[in-house]
Amino acid sequence: MMKDIFESISQELLTRINQWEPKLLALPGKVISQRKNSQNRTIKQILGHMCDSATNNTHRVIHLQYQESPLVYPNYATLGNNDRWIAIQHYQEEDWKVLVPMWKYLNIHYAYIIRFIDVSKLKNVWISGPEKHISLEEMVIDFSRHFYLHLKEIQELIDQS
Each residue's pLDDT, cut to its tens digit, for the chain (161 residues) gives 778 999 999 999 999 999 999 999 999 999 999 999 888 999 999 999 999 999 999 999 999 999 999 998 888 877 678 899 999 999 999 999 999 999 999 999 999 999 999 999 999 999 988 888 999 999 999 999 999 999 999 999 999 95
Residue 81 belongs to what H/E stretch? helix 81-88
Distance CA 42, CA 32 (A): 6
Domain that holds residue 52: 2-159
Residue 18 pLDDT: 98
Chain centre to alpha carbon of residue 28 = 23
Q: How much is the pTM?
A: 0.94
Chain centre to alpha carbon of residue 120 = 24
Mean pLDDT, the chain, whole residue set: 94
Residue 79 pLDDT: 67
Residue 74 pLDDT: 85
- The CATH number covering residue 126 comes to 1.20.120.450
CA torsion 46→47→49→53, rounded to 10°?
A: 130
Task: Give the number of domains in the chain.
Answer: 1
Residue 161 pLDDT: 56
